[in-house]
């Protein structure tokens, strides 16, 4: 072992394979979390396995995404999730409790443990020294059933931190700086691990923000040591007994190392429409803003709201700005309220919303046509806000608060002396906010609303495939583009036939009809195809429409796994130049594909309009079995097969 924190945790949880570069490993999972946008599918999948009780040590079902109840569908699904939690033995966190990642680190996260969640920003748990990873819903269901979680042994990217942040600079500026320097795909196949003397100057708010957006650089996880800052945070939350020290050994061997001087980080802003399109706030002072939102899982902490409250205290928002507040949790809202922060924000003209994801997932808070929205959220993909041609910028709470006062993107350092934030001795909290599963679950009945439909059945991979290129898309296509979210689409999350009607709607609203007519389809993509949210609907809904193959220059990790889990072939161009030779409507042939996969072939020749194109299938032997079976649930139901 090479003595990094990541490798310590990986080694302690390793049940299959070896920690060797490029090798697939299986890990035991200590904790699981779901959220309602993906959780209904998780529980349908778990139920289909026929296992009566969740086997992970901690399992929490959060309702944080679809909390706007414009009709009965979201409320019906909340009842479904609560009854499933009671039936199978999970803790239920009802709407209003807050965002899963934020609440979980406050109440459940434990240093040194593994956490798997059906949301890509589960990586937030790395702030506590956890190996916290996002995954597709079906993989959460398998982990809840006691199966290992499989990844390729990651490389470890060490980030040595020194110095301290200057006034008005915080963790969001650090992660935006890294995104601007290295791109949204720099971390694919890697874990980001922080070390160095500067960590003593990074509080848990900064660490949580950086770990949260580690996935937006492509990382499998982002990990911080469990140190005095971690101990203080857990003690503030009444959980001092959960603390344990966790640090790298005396001679850690990193695959690569980057050094960061916190004192040189400036206020940064991600411009439309990708988190790595980063500029200095000082260079954007001519950009007028009409909406400012502080909050979400990324910047939903006590410190984030108190710094904003102190900055705007005694002042008023610019008259052209809708100034909005989304706390990360009910606990945070209660404590900011007790400290007078909510009063200061309200008196400054802020609109205070319930704790939850809200505008981050396009569930309300959509900006007006042709306006700029400045948000402390982690993502700004085109259309994610709920407004098709949006202009969403990402920033820190400090930059957001300053801009809310001036009506334009403002470097907060121009406002004079920065306020000082103090913490209470202990954060207020009530355990009754959660619903615990009953001791006797034998009589619990699962409540299903009319919008919850059975899982579609998928066939095994045929001997050969003939298909049509249904669409060709560019680089960095997000799962928000493939399968939109928002309050119009997400209520159908438990109804695959209905939600499939929205696939690729943002860029091509004729895709579903074209796919149905073709019967069997191929999607062609560029670099980093499927970045962003872990939602498995971006694989499941196209598969329902007949998509059996996706060919891209490269895939984002979670989306590639989701494709395999539902029997969709993720092929990579051997020569990226072949991407330019393929057009929508092309005819694709994969003769003998089943035998080639069964034989372990990596080079997969395909025919496009009769012309040969070489692709590569970079999967493990286990994943080959999944593809042959038509998906992970098909294979799991085969009693003689260990998944």
Query: How sure is the predictor about 200, in pLDDT bands with cuts at 50, 70 and 90?
Result: very high
Confidence of residue 640 (pLDDT cuts 50, 70, 90): very low
Placement of tokens 């990642």 in the chain: 101
Mean per-residue pLDDT of the chain? 95
Name the CATH architecture for the domain at 465-636: Alpha-Beta Barrel (3.20)
Cα–Cα distance, 284 to 498 (Å, whole number): 42
Q: Which helix (H) or strand (E) holds 257?
A: strand 256-261
The domain 268-415 belongs to what CATH superfamily?
A: Aconitase, domain 3 (3.30.499.10)
**393 has a pLDDT exceeding 50:** yes
Planar angle of CA 212, 216, 220, nearest 5 degrees: 75
Nearest-angstrom CA–CA distance, 260 and 173: 12
Full DSSP string of 437-469: PPS--TT------TT--PPPP-PPPPSSEEEEE
Question: Looking at residues 107-117, what average pLDDT do you find?
Answer: 98
At residue 206 the predicted structure's pLDDT band, cuts being 50, 70 and 90, is: very high
Beta-carbon-side half-sphere exposure of residue 561 (alpha carbons within 13 Å): 24
- Provide the whole-model pTM: 0.94
Can you give the pLDDT at residue 454? 87
What CA–CA distance (Å, rounded) separates 259 from 265? Answer: 12
Does position 133 have pLDDT exceeding 50, yes or no?
A: yes
Q: Is the C-alpha dihedral spanning 407, 411, 414, 420 positive or negative?
A: positive
5-264 against 268-415: fold identical = yes
pLDDT for residue 641: 43
Would you identify the CATH topology of the domain 5-264? Answer: Aconitase; domain 3 (3.30.499)
Percent of the chain, pLDDT > 70? Answer: 99
- The tokens for 27 are 């890990």
Res. 297 pLDDT band, cuts 50 70 90: confident
d(CA 202, CA 224): 10
Question: What pLDDT does 637 receive?
Answer: 76
Q: Where are the beta strands (DSSP E) in 100-187?
A: 114-117, 131-134, 149-152, 155-162
- Tell me the domain boundaries of the chain: 5-264, 268-415, 465-636
Residue 418's CB is within 10 A of a number of other CB atoms, namely 16
Q: Which two tokens stand for residue 274?
A: 């990708």
Please give the span between the terminal C-alpha atoms of the chain, in angstroms, as a whole number.
27
Which tens digit of pLDDT belongs to each residue from 154-189? Answer: 999 999 999 999 999 999 999 999 999 999 999 999
* Structure tokens belonging to residue 390: 């949006």
Encode pLDDT of 491-500 as tens digits. 898 899 999 9
* Res. 490 pLDDT band, cuts 50 70 90: confident
Greater model confidence, 346 or 488: 346
**How high is the pLDDT of residue 488?**
87
- pLDDT the model gives residue 1: 47
**What is the spatial distance between Cα 307 and Cα 408, in angstroms, rounded to a whole number?**
19
Q: Indicate if the pLDDT at residue 319 is higher than 70.
A: yes
Cβ within 8 Å of residue 488, ≥6 positions away: none
Q: Would the pLDDT of 198 be above 70?
A: yes
**pLDDT at residue 619 is higher than 80:** yes
Confidence of residue 249 (pLDDT cuts 50, 70, 90): very high
Going by pLDDT thresholds of 50, 70 and 90, the confidence category of residue 359 is: confident
Q: What is the arithmetic mean of pLDDT over 190-218?
A: 98
The answer, yes or no, to whether residue 271 has pLDDT greater than 80, is: yes
**Residue linked to tokens 């006590």:** 302
Rounded mean pLDDT, 414-438:
96
Q: Are 531 and 559 in contact (CB under 8 A)?
A: yes
pLDDT digits (tens, 9 = 90+) for 516-569: 999 999 999 999 999 988 889 999 999 999 999 999 999 999 999 999 999 999
């Amino acid at each position: 072992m090479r003595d990094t924190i990541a490798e310590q945790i990986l080694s302690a949880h390793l049940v299959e394979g070896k920690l060797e570069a490029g090798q697939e490993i299986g890990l035991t999972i200590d904790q699981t979390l779901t959220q309602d946008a993906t959780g209904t599918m998780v529980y349908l999948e778990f139920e289909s396995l026929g296992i009566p009780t969740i086997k992970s040590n901690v399992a929490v079902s959060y309702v944080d995404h679809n909390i706007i109840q414009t009709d009965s569908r979201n409320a019906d699904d909340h009842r479904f999730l609560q009854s499933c939690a009671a039936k199978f033995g999970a803790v239920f966190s009802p709407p209003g409790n807050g965002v899963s990642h934020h609440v979980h680190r406050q109440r459940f996260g434990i240093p040194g443990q593994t956490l798997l969640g059906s949301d890509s920003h589960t990586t937030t748990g790395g702030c506590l020294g956890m190996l916290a990873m996002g995954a597709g819903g079906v993989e959460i269901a398998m982990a809840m059933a006691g199966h290992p979680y499989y990844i390729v042994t990651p490389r470890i990217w060490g980030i040595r931190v020194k110095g301290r942040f200057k006034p008005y600079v915080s963790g969001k500026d650090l992660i935006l700086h890294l995104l601007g320097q290295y791109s949204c795909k720099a971390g694919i196949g890697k874990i980001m691990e922080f070390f160095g003397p500067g960590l003593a100057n990074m509080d848990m708010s900064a660490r949580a923000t950086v770990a949260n957006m580690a996935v937006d650089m492509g990382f499998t996880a982002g990990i911080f040591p469990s140190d005095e800052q971690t101990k203080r945070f857990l003690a503030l939350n009444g959980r001092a007994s959960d603390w344990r020290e966790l640090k790298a050994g005396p001679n850690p061997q990193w695959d690569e190392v980057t050094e960061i001087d916190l004192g040189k980080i400036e206020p940064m802003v991600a411009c439309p429409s990708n988190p790595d399109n980063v500029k200095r706030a000082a260079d954007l002072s001519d950009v007028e803003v009409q909406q400012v939102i502080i909050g979400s899982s990324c910047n939903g902490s006590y410190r984030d709201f108190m710094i904003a409250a102190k900055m705007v205290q005694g002042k008023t928002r610019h008259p052209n700005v809708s100034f909005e507040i989304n706390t990360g949790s009910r606990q945070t809202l209660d404590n900011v309220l007790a400290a007078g922060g909510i009063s200061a924000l309200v008196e400054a003209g802020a609109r205070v919303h319930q704790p939850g994801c809200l505008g981050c997932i396009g569930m309300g808070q959509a900006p007006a046509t042709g306006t700029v929205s400045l948000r402390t959220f982690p993502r700004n993909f085109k259309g994610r806000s709920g407004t098709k041609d949006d202009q969403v910028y990402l920033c820190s709470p400090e930059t957001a608060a300053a801009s809310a006062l001036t009506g334009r993107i403002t470097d907060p350092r121009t406002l004079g002396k920065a306020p000082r934030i103090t913490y209470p001795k202990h954060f207020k909290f009530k355990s009754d906010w959660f619903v615990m599963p009953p001791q006797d679950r034998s009589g619990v009945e699962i409540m299903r609303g009319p919008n919850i439909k059975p899982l579609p059945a998928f066939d095994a991979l045929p001997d050969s495939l003939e298909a049509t290129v249904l669409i060709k898309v560019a680089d960095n296509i997000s799962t928000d583009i493939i399968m939109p979210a928002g309050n119009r689409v997400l209520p159908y999350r438990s109804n695959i036939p209905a939600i499939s009607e929205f696939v690729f709607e943002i860029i091509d609203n004729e895709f579903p009809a074209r796919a149905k007519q073709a019967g069997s389809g191929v999607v062609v993509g560029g670099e980093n195809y499927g970045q962003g949210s872990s939602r498995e609907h971006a694989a499941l809904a196209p598969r329902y429409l007949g998509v059996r193959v996706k060919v891209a220059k490269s895939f984002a990790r979670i989306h590639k796994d989701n494709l395999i889990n539902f029997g969709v072939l993720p092929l990579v161009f051997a020569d990226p130049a072949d991407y330019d030779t393929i057009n929508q409507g092309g005819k694709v042939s994969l003769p003998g594909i089943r035998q080639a996969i069964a034989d372990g072939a990596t080079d997969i020749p395909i025919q496009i309009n009769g012309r040969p194109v070489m692709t590569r299938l970079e999967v493990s032997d286990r994943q080959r079995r999944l593809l042959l079976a038509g998906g992970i649930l098909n294979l799991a139901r085969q009693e003689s097969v260990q998944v």
